[in-house]
Each structure stands twice: as C-alpha cells, then as structure tokens.
Structure 1
Amino acid sequence: MEIIDYELFEVPPRWVFLKLETDTGLVGWGEPIVEGHARTTITAVEEIIDNYLLGKDPLEIERHWQAMYRGRHFRGGPILMSSMAGVDQALWDIKGKHYGAPVYDLLGGRARDRILTYQWIGGDTPEEMREAAETAVNNGYTTLKMAANSQIRRIDSPEVVEEITNRLAGVRDEVGNNINIAVDFRGRVTKGMAKWVASKLDPYDPMFYEEPVLPEHFDVLPRIESHTKTPLASGERLYSRWEFQQTLANSQVDIIQPDPSHAGGITEVKKIADAAEAADIAVALHCALGPIAFASCLHIAVATPNAFVQSQNLDIHDHNQNDLLAYLLDPGVFGFENGYVDAPDAPGLGIDIDESFVREQADTQFDWQNPIWYHDDGSIAEW
C-alpha cells in the first residue's frame, strides 16, 4: 500500500482538512491548521507530502514522523509541527481502517470508557457569563471554562482586578459548588499581575488556571504557584516533547495541554502524555478546532491514564442543530451524555466525513483572522 494523492480544503469557521489517499482505496483525514495562518500551513503540508510522503507506505507512521521532523535542517515551531500533525492524524486514520481497529486500540487500548469534556462560556459582562453558564449546565455540562479577562495592561488597577473577580464570582454563584470551572488567563496577564489575579480568584475554587503566563515566562511559575492553591495548566503553545521537557522535569505546571493538531499529531502527543504520567502531571488535551482534531484528541484521551478532561469547541451537546458538526455524516458519533464524550469505536478515527459538504464549504470565500487589540494608549494588547 502507498500514498498516491491528497487534497487540502480550507473550510469555515477557520479550519483546514487534509484528505490522504492510498492505492488500495483507503482514505485518511487530518486537520492541519494554525489559526489565522491557513494558507501558510497549507503550503507547508504540500511541501511535506510532495517532497516526501507520496509513494510511501502509510503504515510506517513512526518512520514518517521521524523523517518529517528530522529530515530537514530547520524544524519545530507552530507551522511545521501543525503541518506534520495533520499528516500524522491522516496516517493513523488509514492505519486503523487497514487493521479494522479504532486508533485507541493501536495506542494500547482503552484506559477508560469515556472522557469528561467542558463547555466554553463567553460574555462581556458578569450577567452574560452567568447566562452562558446556566445554559451550559442545563445542557448537561458539569465542567465549564471561561476567560479570566479580555484586555489587561502590564500593570493594571484594582478596579480591573475586581472586574475579573466579579466574572468568576458571578458564574460560581450561578452554578454552585458541584460544577467545575476552569479559568483561562490566555497568556494575556503579565507575570507582574498573574499572582495578584490568581490570589483574588482563589476563593471561588477554580478547577485550574490555564496559561497564567506565556510559555516564554514559565520561569516565574513557581512564584505564581506560591500565591495560589489552584492547579496551573499550560501547553497549547508548546509544539514537541522537547519543548515540554523542562516543564515536565521541573513540574512547572500541574496539567499539560498539548494540542494534537499543533504538537506533531497523535504520535507526538501520546509520547508527551506518557512522559507527563511519569512526572505525576495530568493531561487535558487542547482542542479549539474541528471534528477531525476532536476525534484525534478523544482517541489519545481514552488511551491515556493521566488524561482527565477534554476541551472542545463544537457545542456538541446539540449535534442535531450544530453546523460545526455538519462536516460529519453522523453528527452524533461522539455520544455526548452528562458532560462526557466517547471516542468513536469505528476503525481509524471513527468518523465519516461528508466530503460533498466539505467541498461545498471550501468554495466559500473567507479568511479568518483574529482581531488585533489596542490599549487606550495605542499600544498592542495580547489577544
């Protein structure tokens, strides 16, 4: 069996799908994308496949991963690792279909039956946040995630810290103490403010603080940790086991969040998760993308003992009225129930892509870019 062809589809809202074809008729799907850099990522995928993968046996995944990573002088970074990630996902999809097994069986089998998932809640005011939280809980979620703040200056005022505190306080008051609430700092808070904000939010018992500072400032995490009782999480902007090495060795966080569409795919993320288990660090795989990326996460999560919660950006509680799941022939394949989801048990990634819908959406004209934020003085704010 060999790889003979491929296609890439840029589709709304901000995703790229890869279709990898073999001479036996088996097809694998992956999701290689860096949000806001779709065209750059597509070009990188084309270079990988055109210059290396065509004509190769898709079953030799580890060999291909090593060749894609080590075969060029320059390596790593979000574009190259995300491009590799989508190719790797498609190879696992083909391999599972070839052997008639779901990917999680090829990763060693189930460590659990299902995985807890959380719902993102948004809003510009505490009242809007409360309403979003109420809706999520009514839809069956027992775990929520929210942004701590939007714009924040390098050193900000007590008023701003109070506004941040009120957002979490309102959600906690709305849902009570039997609901977990993760709080995402999104790397927007400087190290000078992070310990202040964390200590003010602590009384409302967050599940964890995500990206309390950007990865380039991980050296200050022990100082932040000394000001809070809440577990610290990060890792969506780390792209390989080597970038996670110091974080794991020094126990800089309690939870790592590698993304299988950014950190080298299923092959690499499973290795990162296994290394975290040895360090007694939990795993909450990051996924702000589409159904192929989400399926990849679920197969890793159910085969990983130290995974404990799975992010998602698909609003999967209502798959019958969800256009984000319209890319699947069976939108109910993830089996959402009582805040949990299942890994699809069909061969490969276990999802059937509605290719006609993909092609239809790929014909639409769009170019997703995140907004650029400015502070009142005209300087650039972290988005």
Structure 2
Amino acid sequence: MNIARIETFLVPPRWLFVRVETDDGIVGWGEPIVEGRAEAVAAVVATLAERLVGADASRIEDHWQVMTKGGFYRGGPVLSSAVAGIDQALWDIKGKALGVPVHDLLGGAVRDKVRVYTWIGGDTVEALAEDALRAKENGFDAAKCNAAAQLGPIESPAAVRAIVDQFTELRAAVGDGFDIAIDFHGRFSTAMARRVLPLLEPLLPLFVEEVVLPEFSRDLAAVTAGTSIPIATGERLYSRWDFRDVLPAGIAVAQPDLSHAGGISEVRRIAAMAEAYDVAMAPHCPLGPIALASSLQVDFATPNFLIQEQSLGIHYNQGNDLLDYLVDPSVFAFTDGYVERPTAPGLGIEVDEAAVRKAAEDPHRWRNQVWRLRDGTFAEW
C-alpha cells in the first residue's frame, strides 16, 4: 500500500483539499489550508510529495516526523498546515484499508455524540439576537460571535460599554439555557482584555477566545488570573511545543485546528497534554468538510473534549457551504446541537470527487481584509 500520487485542489469558498491515492486504489482526503495563503500551502504539499510518493502509506508517524523535521528549517503555519492535510489523508487511507473509522484507531470512542456550536453575526445587537434565536430554533444550544471590530490599544469608555451592552442584550434574548462563546480574535491588547473581561463575567460566557494575540501568549497568565471567565486559545498555535507555554497559564480550553496544527497525529498529542492541565478541547474549525470530519474523529476519542466548532452557514461560506462537496451530507446532521458518531471507515465521509475537480477549475483567491484605525494605522482583523 504505497503512495502513488498526491493532488491538491483549490475550491471555493476558501479551502484547499488534498487527495492521496495508493497503488492499490485507496484514496484518502485531507484539508491543508492557511486561509488567505492557500497557494503557498499547496506549493509545500507538492514539495513534501517528492519524498512521499512511493513510500508506504501506513507509516503515518514516520511520515509525520520526516515532514515536520526532515528540513533544516522547521515550523510555521504553512508547513504545519501542509503536514496536517497529508496527515488527515493518511489516517483516512489507513482507516479505509482496515475497514474502521479513525477514532477506532485512536483507542475507540469515549462518547456517542459530539456537541457542536454554530456562528452568529449581525451589524446590530438586534440582528445578532435574531441570528441567535434562529440558531436556537434550529436546535443549537451554543453559538459563537465576534466581540468587536477594529479596536485601539486602549479604547474609550463608550467603546467598552458598547461591547458589554451588546452581550448583555444577547444574553437577555437567548436566556441562560443557551451558551454564548465570544471571540476576541486577537483584537484586544492585554490591557483591554483585562478591562473588559471582568465586565462580561455576570453574563457567564461559555468561554472567551483569543483574548490576546498568540505572540503575547506569555501574558495569558495575567489575563486568566484576573477573571473567572474560561479563557480559550490555540487556533494560531501549531504544535505541542506552542501549547507547552500556554497550558500552564490557566487557560480553560485549548483550540488547535486540525488543518493547521499538524493534523490528527499532532492534535491527538495536544489533547493528551491538555488533559494533564485540566484543560478541555474545543478544536477550531471554521473550514470545510474534511477538516470537520478529521476534528470529529479526534473528538470522539478524546476524554477532555468540550465542544466542536463547525462552519455551516458561516459568513465566510459565500457560494459554497460545508455540505457541498459530500456525496452523503447526512453524516453531518446536527440534531439538538449534537452530531452522531460516524461509523464509516476512515474519516467517515465520502468526498464528491467530481464536484471537487469541477470547482477547482475556477480556483478561489480568498484573502482576509486589512483593517485600519481612524488614524490610518493597521488594526487586527
């Protein structure tokens, strides 16, 4: 069962898929992507393929070690995302070859269903509340939204109160039986985070995510010590070594991305590390169906799992959505805020290869926005 060929496909809305085929005809799929840098990741996948084609597809760990450490220069999101997608595809192949879902290969399921949350948005408090109530009507009992748009290092009292008032009204609209997660998106300075978080405490958020940028991870201990709100981070941390510095800082939730942080192999190890610090897992996944399928395989085998992000209907999905590249989209049927355990071999999904190939004929060129403050300086998006 040797690797015969590796192909990548840039497909809308902003995704990159990788297809790995063995010489005996087994096909595995992965999703290697850095949003806004998809072409760079595809180039690295092609470079890694030079060593992989002709090799035994079943030697997943050996391939992971060589892909991540075989070059003199290591690390970074582009390399780790390329590795992640290939790693997902190799696990998909191995599960299909053995006729079992990947979570069986990770020790077996520890739960029967996985809780998921949805995204809500809106330019006004009223629109945000309407979106949350719609999600509630659709069976979800948890949602996440961004806390604010452009922010300076230390904002005015009016700006701070606007953030707090928005979530006060949202909590009043949905009630206490609905969980709200708040994504700071790295837009808050450490000082702003410490100012705003205590004001949000009475609203009991499920967690507050990425309160500071990853380069300020060393300051997380000061942030977590100053609030009772569970702090989540990790979507821009790419290895267990990155998480080694934040796990002792008092965070409550680790959020590695299965398409960024080295794939199933590495996120499984990050989860085990997090468990030793009493930190729950909520994998980041505003991406496509292969990334979600990979996340779910880890979720079902992870004792310290909390909740799973998914992108159905998210504002990024313009033109194509989460279910568009699947032969059977019912595998992601969300019922009462949960998804059932997949039982099909490999990642548990069947990718519609014809649809992928057709979509890739018109590859996307998605780029994130660049924001500026009133004085013209760069602002975190």
For normalisation by structure 2, the TM-score amounts to: 0.97
**For 1:126 and 1:362, how far apart are their aligned partners in 2?**
38
Matched with 2:28 is: 28
CA shift digits 1:206-260 (9 cap, x unpaired): 1111001112212222222233211111001000011111222x24311100011
Report matched runs for 1:47-86 at 5 Å: 47-50=47-50, 52-86=51-85
**Deviates further, 64-73 or 307-316:** 307-316
Aligned-partner residue type, residue 372 of structure 1: V
Instruction: Tell me the CA shift for residue 365 of structure 1.
Output: 4.6
Aligned-partner residue type, residue 310 of structure 2: Q
**8 A Cα contact 2:225 2:250, kept in partner:** no
**For 1:311 and 1:323, how far apart are their aligned partners in 2?**
15
**8 A Cα contact 1:191 1:220, kept in partner:** yes
Instruction: Tell me the CA shift for residue 24 of structure 1.
Output: 0.6
**For 1:233 and 1:276, how far apart are their aligned partners in 2?**
12
Higher relative contact order (CA 8 A, sep 6+): 2
Report matched runs for 1:285-300 at 5 Å: 285-300=283-298
Structure 1 position 91 matched with structure 2 position 90: yes
1:300 counterpart SS class: helix
**For 1:365 and 1:80, how far apart are their aligned partners in 2?**
21
1:279 counterpart SS class: coil
- Give the direction of change, closer, same or farther, for the CA distance of 1:142–1:235 in structure 2 (3 Å limit): same
1:206 counterpart SS class: coil
Matched with 1:121 is: 120
**For 1:331 and 1:352, how far apart are their aligned partners in 2?**
9
Aligned-partner residue type, residue 23 of structure 2: D
2:287 counterpart SS class: coil
CA shift digits 1:299-356 (9 cap, x unpaired): 000100000100111249xxxx984311000011123110011242100001011111
**For 2:259 and 2:27, how far apart are their aligned partners in 1?**
18
1:117 counterpart SS class: strand
**For 1:341 and 1:150, how far apart are their aligned partners in 2?**
31
Instruction: Determine which of 345, 356, 366 is the counterpart of 1:347.
Output: 345
**8 A Cα contact 1:251 1:279, kept in partner:** no
For normalisation by structure 1, the TM-score amounts to: 0.96
Structure 1 position 307 matched with structure 2 position 308: no
Matched with 1:136 is: 135
Matched with 1:194 is: 193
Aligned-partner residue type, residue 289 of structure 1: L
**For 1:348 and 1:204, how far apart are their aligned partners in 2?**
41
- Structure 2 portions without partners, runs of 5+: none
Aligned-partner residue type, residue 224 of structure 2: E
Matched with 1:366 is: 364
CA shift digits 1:16-63 (9 cap, x unpaired): 01010111110000000100001100000000012x100011101011
Runs of 4+ in 1 over 6 A off after TM superposition: none
Matched with 1:260 is: 258
- Give the direction of change, closer, same or farther, for the CA distance of 1:343–1:292 in structure 2 (3 Å limit): farther
2:334 counterpart SS class: coil
Matched with 2:13 is: 13
Instruction: Tell me the CA shift for residue 359 of structure 1.
Output: 1.3
Instruction: Tell me the CA shift for residue 199 of structure 1.
Output: 1.2
- Give the direction of change, closer, same or farther, for the CA distance of 1:323–1:282 in structure 2 (3 Å limit): closer
**For 1:362 and 1:252, how far apart are their aligned partners in 2?**
43
Aligned-partner residue type, residue 104 of structure 1: H
**8 A Cα contact 1:218 1:252, kept in partner:** no
- Structure 1 portions without partners, runs of 5+: none
2:270 counterpart SS class: helix
Aligned-partner residue type, residue 279 of structure 2: I
Identical-pair percentage:
51
**8 A Cα contact 1:96 1:103, kept in partner:** yes
Instruction: Tell me the CA shift for residue 192 of structure 1.
Output: 1.3
**8 A Cα contact 1:36 1:368, kept in partner:** yes
Matched with 2:183 is: 184
- Give the direction of change, closer, same or farther, for the CA distance of 1:308–1:149 in structure 2 (3 Å limit): same
**For 1:102 and 1:223, how far apart are their aligned partners in 2?**
41
Q: Once superposed, what is the RMSD of the aligned Cα atoms?
A: 1.3
1:332 counterpart SS class: helix
Aligned-partner residue type, residue 49 of structure 1: A
**8 A Cα contact 1:315 1:322, kept in partner:** no
**For 1:68 and 1:356, how far apart are their aligned partners in 2?**
29
**For 1:82 and 1:228, how far apart are their aligned partners in 2?**
33
Structure 1 position 338 matched with structure 2 position 336: yes
CA shift digits 1:98-154 (9 cap, x unpaired): 000000000000011111111111111111111110111011000111111111111
Aligned-partner residue type, residue 258 of structure 1: P
1:160 counterpart SS class: helix
Aligned-partner residue type, residue 42 of structure 1: A
Aligned-partner residue type, residue 351 of structure 1: I
Instruction: Tell me the CA shift for residue 291 of structure 1.
Output: 0.2
**8 A Cα contact 1:298 1:342, kept in partner:** no
- Give the direction of change, closer, same or farther, for the CA distance of 1:142–1:148 in structure 2 (3 Å limit): same
**For 2:210 and 2:250, how far apart are their aligned partners in 1?**
12
